[in-house]
A and B are shown apart, each in its own frame.
Chain A
């Protein structure tokens, strides 16, 4: 194990409701800017709720008009974030062996917004343009990124609902450690669609107002959309080529709750298994954890179960460290949530600043940790966890540390 290859992060890209680059997104996170607004992508008047964290600006001017027409919204957001991350990494793709660079993303809704329109026309007896369903499958963005940047290595798309991107980063990590790739473009891009908006509303899981993670009066999540892309690279080669090393991906844990399709294990035992698996993978102890970027969806069940899981897994340490949910600002970005939250977590260990949980007013006895209420904070964070828990009991926790 001594000689295990290490994986560092050399590039970050973000498209979110509060900024379409890391340099916009990060200061807005620290300032507690809320991106949850009235839905404009489709007519939401017949739904139970009418708000979501929509992306208002996709700066895809580097794509041709033809490209843009062929692509889904998720493709374009993913490409913008990938473009930013690869530029920051300084990878000169004309000099790299393309077969050693992979693309592994978390995916879900992909081109669903377009397929929904096609399906609606068909249900009404019409025939929509077939080009509208070409981007339906979640793997479209992975292929698009490989196409755009000429990458010929391992490609994969993980579809485990809200833990998709966290698991994709884990697969990317294992692929680099296992010698299958030297660098992987990873993360995810996921967009608003009527299926997911209607689905969470049908389960009565959406708060009509901006969500309030860990607050006593939380009433559910706010759905968001985002792309978060990270360039993972084997450490030696990143150092050799003088790449900017923004943080280290120390490992991850992936487990099944084997409990219920939609409900978390309220005792926290299942979530604690994932956290422990992540720390084992990273070779670290609970006492090493300085910060947790929570899953923190603001559903009544998740936040108390996640709090319990942190207490079971970390013991007393859970009470000593800050835990925050950026979903209070950018909503739950579903299959990309683990990616955009990992971008924030890398920035946290790098800048030593902790984003807040906004809309937090009333403490809940079942959620009794330090949730960094409403104001960002300075903090010496060396090692952080980022949690992702999904439908199906698909849980994943990633471990990110300051690179030193």
Chain B
């Protein structure tokens, strides 16, 4: 099974994985009310934007202009993960690849390119933006910037896209396609997308109790085979115990609070890791404000764990919901296992952390991360 040797985070709750986890576990939240100007006629009342983000110092200003916002998040988060892992990319650039999940990457370039095309004329549309309209722009810009020649994919499959990318990465390592993979997720907040999500009723708002708060950020972990990590003397933050998945046939945009599917995903992760429910100490819920889904998740957790439901840290209450939230949960799980002190007394550091990530369209993922000891 693969292990994690580095983590990176670029988020409104911290610009490194350590800062992100420290503030998350201290109960801070980046969710804030929309300003009247950015809100316009949205029903939605809250958002978790990364207002103070600057791509400097990692990306010089001249260069940063070439990248869309999501690519900037991804480049910095991935560079952090590689640096923490002290992974020698240049020794064999073909051995390391990247898989990123996203729901919105390319949104800024796409909406701007289309705006000019639709309002002015097709001939006026700025060619500069077109290559960044593809959802794979962040992962590909990472591969170009960090010179990674290995596998390179971007996955869009609703909220669990980050865990889906983690699954792709673990298969890439198991099959020998790569020795190391950056697995993560990235999203950028975009005004037009916010309007679209608001109009279809997905965002929590004045007259809507059930719905998500949008966020943005980039998150990545460096995954490698345990043998390779030990062979190069790397410090192991966490071991990926197992991933469970379940699908429910439904409309692409419908949330289905299907308890059997939730249980199948969670039990799949526990079984793959060979872990009994009693051995899980921390739970990073999928809960994102979609009331029926959150209730079903809590009910299934009680069913599986009985009176032993693990302590929960609600990542999405702190940074909002997006595909990238799954990446944030992965990073938080690894940090909790590696540096549990911030949230746990030293003698109660978690040994196993469960991450749940459920989305619309009947998409259910769960992953179990374990202490390497």
Contacts and interface: CB of A to CB of B under 8 A. Distances in A.
B363 A143 contact: yes
A138 interface: yes
A174 B126 CA distance: 39
Nearest to A148: B249
Contact of B155 (A157, A194, A195, A197): A157
Contacts of A180: 167, 171, 245
A203 interface: yes
Contacts of A281: 175, 177
B123 A46 contact: yes
B266 to A, nearest CB: 14
Interface in A370-404: 390-394
B307 interface: no
Interface stretch (B52-60, B127-135, B230-238, B295-303): B127-135
B71 to A, nearest CB: 10
A199 B110 CA distance: 10
Interface stretch (A255-263, A288-296, A317-325, A349-357): A255-263
A255 B94 contact: yes
Nearest to A260: B144
A108 to B, nearest CB: 7
A153 B114 contact: no
Interface in A269-304: 270, 273, 277, 281
Contacts of A203: 127, 130
A99 B153 CA distance: 24
B152 A137 contact: no
A314 interface: no
Contacts of A107: 156
B29 interface: no
Contact of B251 (A147, A204, A259): A147
B46 to A, nearest CB: 20
Contact of A108 (B97, B121, B134): B134
B148 interface: yes
Interface in A320-345: none
Interface residues of A, number: 82
Interface stretch (A17-25, A84-92, A127-135, A359-367): A127-135
Given A151-B247, A159-B155, A202-B125, A256 B136 contact: no
Interface string B148-173: 11111111111000001001100110
Residue of B121, B168, B249 ringed by the most chain A CB atoms within 10 A: B249
Contacts of B153: 158, 160, 167, 171, 254, 394
Contact of A116 (B118, B146, B250, B261): B118
Contacts of B102: 159
Interface in A112-128: 115-116, 118-120, 122-123, 127
Contacts of A273: 94, 149
A48 to B, nearest CB: 7
A392 B140 contact: yes
Nearest to A153: B247
Residue of B125, B153, B196 ringed by the most chain A CB atoms within 10 A: B153
Interface string B97-120: 110001100000011011101110
A314 to B, nearest CB: 18
Report, as a range, how many residues of chain B touch the other chain: 35 or more
B140 A171 contact: no
B362 interface: yes
Interface string A171-195: 1001101101000000000000011
A64 to B, nearest CB: 14
A137 B323 CA distance: 12
Contact of B131 (A120, A133, A391): A391
Contact of B247 (A118, A152, A161): A152
Contacts of B209: none
Contacts of B250: 143, 147
Nearest to A390: B136
Contact of A161 (B125, B136, B164, B175): B136
B249 A152 contact: yes
A134 B200 contact: yes
A156 B169 CA distance: 13
A124 B157 CA distance: 31
B152 A255 contact: yes
A256 B149 contact: yes
Nearest to B131: A261
Residue of A122, A140, A202, A260 ringed by the most chain B CB atoms within 10 A: A202
A160 B247 CA distance: 23
A36 to B, nearest CB: 19
B114 A194 contact: yes
A201 interface: yes
Contacts of B252: 134-135, 137, 139-140, 142-144, 147
A336 B68 CA distance: 25
A148 B250 CA distance: 8
Interface in B167-188: 167-168, 171-172, 174-175, 177
B2 interface: no
A102 B167 CA distance: 14
Interface in B219-270: 245-253, 261, 264
B144 A158 contact: no
B121 A46 contact: yes
A194 B158 contact: no
A243 interface: no
B137 interface: yes
Given A137-B252, A255-B150, A392-B136, A195 B174 contact: no
A195 B133 contact: yes
A8 B4 CA distance: 34
A150 interface: yes
Contacts of A123: 115, 118-119
Residue of A120, A201, A261 ringed by the most chain B CB atoms within 10 A: A261
A136 B196 contact: yes
B195 interface: yes
A102 B172 CA distance: 18
Query: Which 3 pairs across A and B sit closest by C-beta, in order of nearness?
Result: A392-B140, A256-B143, A199-B130
Given A130-B200, A147-B362, A160-B153, 15 more contacts: A118-B196, A123-B118, A143-B362, A144-B252, A147-B249, A151-B249, A158-B155, A178-B175, A198-B114, A256-B97, A256-B152, A260-B144, A392-B137, A393-B140, A394-B140
28 contacts: A47-B123, A99-B246, A119-B111, A122-B192, A123-B118, A131-B200, A142-B361, A143-B361, A144-B251, A146-B247, A156-B164, A156-B168, A157-B156, A159-B154, A160-B134, A160-B154, A167-B153, A178-B171, A195-B133, A198-B122, A199-B133, A254-B177, A255-B149, A256-B140, A281-B175, A392-B134, A392-B143, A393-B140
